[in-house]
């Protein structure tokens, strides 16, 4: 999907022209820190949503206020809006305890919203992060002006490439951030959980060669499950569930969790 990300710096936008230019997805700056709300948030959302563009929001993380209060600020600014796209945490400023802030922000935002969240950052900023957030969707800024020509890194799920910050687009009078996204940015309302290969042995002690179904199923607490397998082993796929239930199971399953489809 062709996409843009915008804030008050872009001024008034004609979203009909933006849509005609082929844009499908719009990320809108919502908040920064604990108290800042972008002055164009409500206008940009209303106008983009009205013309049928997929809309999502991002928060700019700072090191001058507690991450929990920042997560509250972000959630309160977007909770009454439709998030067609997964919310994004914009991480591009280094400070002491950065990774701790990221993890605490994510934990609080999930507690408030039950929504998945992704990480936006620059290729050149990656060295300040580590693989504790490797499984979160990555929206990567790298201005090689060639969508998706990016080197691999510790993130496992790249969903977006911001390839220019000087784009020109009908309907926007300023230079504009230009992006390509895949459907990993879509904020799904339902899905099903897929596990990793399940361990052999009674309760993991290898007392026999096989999966103890009763032991495994107690973690799913009544959710209908389907066992599948191949030459490498056996895994589980659940029935279709609400996204909040999928995310709850992800936390419960821990290392057994593989993906939400």
Let me know if 5 is a catalytic residue. yes
25 strand-pairing partners: 3, 54
Residues 6+ apart with CB under 8 A from 251: none
Please say whether the beta carbons of 122 and 177 come within 8 A.
Answer: no
C-alpha–C-alpha distance, residues 238 and 229, integer Å: 14
How many Cβ atoms sit within 10 Å of the Cβ of residue 251?
A: 9
Let me know if 237 is a catalytic residue. no
| From 24, 66, 80, 92, active-site residue | 92
Please say whether the beta carbons of 230 and 245 come within 8 A.
Answer: no
Residues 6+ apart with CB under 8 A from 179: 2, 3, 4, 5, 25, 27, 139, 160, 161, 162, 163
Q: Catalytic residues, which ones?
A: 5, 92
């Amino acid at each position: 999907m062709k996409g843009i990300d915008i804030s008050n710096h872009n001024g008034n936008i004609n979203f009909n022209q933006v849509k005609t230019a082929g844009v499908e997805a719009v990320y809108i700056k919502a908040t920064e820190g604990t108290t800042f709300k972008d002055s164009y948030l409500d206008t940009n959302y209303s106008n983009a949503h009205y013309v049928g563009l997929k809309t999502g929001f991002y928060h700019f993380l700072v090191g001058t206020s507690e991450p929990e209060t920042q997560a509250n600020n972000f959630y309160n600014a977007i909770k009454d809006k439709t998030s067609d796209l997964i919310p994004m945490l914009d991480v591009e400023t280094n400070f002491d305890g950065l990774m701790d802030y990221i993890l605490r922000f994510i934990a609080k935002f999930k507690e408030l919203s039950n929504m998945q969240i992704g990480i936006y950052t620059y290729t050149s900023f990656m060295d300040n992060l580590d693989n504790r957030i490797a499984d979160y969707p990555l929206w990567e800024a790298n201005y090689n002006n060639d969508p998706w020509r990016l080197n691999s890194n510790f993130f496992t799920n790249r969903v977006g490439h911001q390839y220019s910050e000087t784009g020109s687009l009908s309907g926007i009078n300023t230079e504009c951030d230009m992006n390509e996204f895949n459907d990993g940015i879509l904020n799904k309302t339902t899905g099903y959980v897929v596990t990793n290969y399940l361990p052999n042995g009674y309760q993991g002690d290898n007392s026999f060669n096989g999966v103890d179904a009763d032991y495994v199923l107690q973690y799913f607490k009544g959710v209908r499950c389907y066992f599948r397998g191949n030459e490498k082993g056996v895994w589980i796929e659940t029935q279709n569930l609400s996204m909040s239930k999928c995310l709850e199971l992800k936390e419960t399953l821990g290392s057994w969790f593989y993906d939400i489809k």
